[in-house]
Amino acid sequence: MSTTSLTTSLPVPAHAARLREALLAADFTADGLLELLGAPAYAALARSETVPALRATRGDSPLETLVRLFLLQGSVPGERAAAALPLKEALADGWIEEADGGIRATVDVRPYGGPEGEDWFIVSDLGCAVGGAGGIGRKDEGVVLGVGGASTTLAGITVRTPVASALDLGTGSGIQALHASQHATLVTATDLNPRALDFTRLTLALSGAREAELLQGSLFEPVDGDTYDLIVSNPPFVISPGARLTYRDGGMGGDDLCRTLVQEAGERLNDGGYAQFLANWQHVEGEEWQDRLRSWVPRGCDAWIVQREVQDITQYAELWLRDSGDHREDPRRYTELYEAWLDEFEARGTKAVGFGWITLRKNAAVASGAVEPSIVLEEWPHPVEQPLGDAVRAHFERRDYLRTRDDAALLAEHFVLAPEVVQEQVGLPGAEDPEHVVLRQNRGMRRATRVDHVGAGFAGVCDGSLSAGRILDAIGQLTGEDPVLLRDRTPQAIRLLVEEGFLLPVGEGGGA
């Protein structure tokens, strides 16, 4: 099936403030929806299953009307719409239209809770609030999606320090620009699809956020030589045979779009700035994925790359064929498309596809050659606790700390145990001593690491009052071990505990 182009005009934000007031007055918010629908129906709605929500909105309250109108895309009587909305303005601006003897929405308006409890609204094409096992099933060229798992993942891992300038590259419906507007003085949002820029304008206006600079174009082309303190992108990273769908297919061969985006980001960052992306990458025969990704890191940048998931090529092809609804159509066409995906992977020697997060930080000391870049690549499929922005920033701060201290300097430092760390002892029931001890984080990346009796004892007494060397001397006296040997072999373990966030250095002011 060929794609079709969307030609319908979009709303204008002339009276967005009045519409926002009406939505809030009706409690058309994330919390209001949860209270009205109940947890099961609310969760079903996030999966694009509408039957439970239809059953929960049989009344005629303004909130029920708005749910039927904007989330369920049903037609409502004019008098009910007038009771819930500034009807004249909403019709004039194009948010709704008269149809089938009633009123229906022209766009999807979805409540979204901000990180500090803000009541925001994400505006997207009808039927494209991402969710459901079968994907969105749309092939319209230029379709703009709402909020999906990838969007919220990127928003959660983004470093949220105040900055002068932020760039949302490939903005879509504008969720990343909306988040950035809370801590960036100037936000620039770009997209190859002009409809996406219009939707971003609507999302910002209806959410009561400041306007952003909106520029059309591919990758970094629209921003000329400008540089930024923060760059975020949830790009069209799907590795596919061709570029059928703008919202997901990059249009370059293999993972070239993600590679190009990462490699070009270094020149667009100010010193100390972060660039954070979601990406797919190929696992190619005869090549380690870590080596492939390491070659993407631009000069002058530190990097932290986390592979969250790996799919074999058949799983990957099936996932994205379902996303566009191809599995529900002509079986022969589905087979042809499936074959095309596998042919593409075979030609490139691709055996699997990885998905994960890429974070770059521009570092003047690395750019000048004063220090070696810190490039960390790891596989972490385990659960994490969002938001992770502070954890990402702390990762780079710890790497800075460690690469400027040799073992002797490390032993002179003072540390405290991170507040979320607990100790687990593993062994046979009734045994006098555990087989091993595990330190586990209950927040952030939720890491766990095994330690020996010295490491457990060391971590347990780290309260910032004694230097690491003094603690090891005391452990040596208690256990009868040679303190000199302890000082010689323990710094590597301390370094690992600091690197992974189990131990926090105590600053000059006494804080960790």
Residue 141 pLDDT greater than 80, yes or no: no
pLDDT band at 433 (very low <50, low <70, confident <90, very high): confident
Angstrom distance (rounded) from CA 73 to CA 86: 18
Closest to 173 in 3D by CA, of 152, 231, 403: 152
In this predicted model, what pLDDT tens digit does every residue of 85-108 receive, in sequence order?
A: 999 999 999 999 999 899 999 999
- Please name the residue that has the structure tokens 């971590």: 459
Alpha-carbon separation of residue 482 from 345, 407, 412, 479, 490 (angstroms): 57, 18, 18, 9, 12
Q: What is the pLDDT at residue 46?
A: 80
Cα angle 433-439-441, degrees, rounded to a multiple of 5? 150
- Residue 505 · residue 498 · CB < 8 Å: yes
Is 125 exposed, middle or buried, given 0-12, 13-18 or 19+ CB atoms closer than 10 A? buried
Q: pTM of the entire structure? A: 0.93
Which of 124-128, 155-159, 468-472 comes out lowest in average pLDDT?
124-128
Tokens describing residue 370: 């004063």
Q: Mean pLDDT over residues 213-234, rounded? A: 96
Tokens describing residue 471: 């603690």
pLDDT band at 138 (very low <50, low <70, confident <90, very high): low
- Residue 178 · residue 204 · CB < 8 Å: yes
Provide the percentage of residues in the chain whose pLDDT is more than 70.
Answer: 94
Q: What is the pLDDT at residue 139?
A: 58
H/E element, 113: strand 108-113
**Mean pLDDT estimate for the chain:** 92
Closest to 139 in 3D by CA, of 239, 331, 1, 329: 1
Q: Mean pLDDT over residues 243-264, rounded? A: 84
Classify 414 as helix, strand or coil: strand
- Residue 321 · residue 388 · CB < 8 Å: no
In this predicted model, what pLDDT tens digit does every residue of 228-237 receive, in sequence order?
A: 999 999 998 9
H/E element, 33: helix 30-37
Strand segments, DSSP code E, in 22-66 are none
Cα angle 466-467-468, degrees, rounded to a multiple of 5? 120
Angstrom distance (rounded) from CA 32 to CA 165: 34
Alpha-carbon separation of residue 186 from 162, 183, 201, 286, 292 (angstroms): 11, 9, 15, 45, 34
Angstrom distance (rounded) from CA 171 to CA 190: 6
Closest to 186 in 3D by CA, of 218, 205, 221, 211: 211
Alpha-carbon separation of residue 421 from 130, 194, 372, 381, 434 (angstroms): 36, 47, 30, 20, 19
pLDDT band at 137 (very low <50, low <70, confident <90, very high): low
- Please name the residue that has the structure tokens 């082309």: 221
pLDDT band at 243 (very low <50, low <70, confident <90, very high): low
Measure the N-to-C terminal CA separation of the chain; round to a whole number of Å.
59
In this predicted model, what pLDDT tens digit does every residue of 320-358 receive, in sequence order?
A: 988 777 777 788 999 999 999 999 999 999 999 999 999
79: Cβ–Cβ under 8 A, 6 or more apart, which residues? none
Kindly tell me the number of DSSP H helices and DSSP E strands found in the chain. Answer: 21, 20
Alpha-helical runs (H) found in 85-206: 87-93, 149-157, 175-180, 194-206
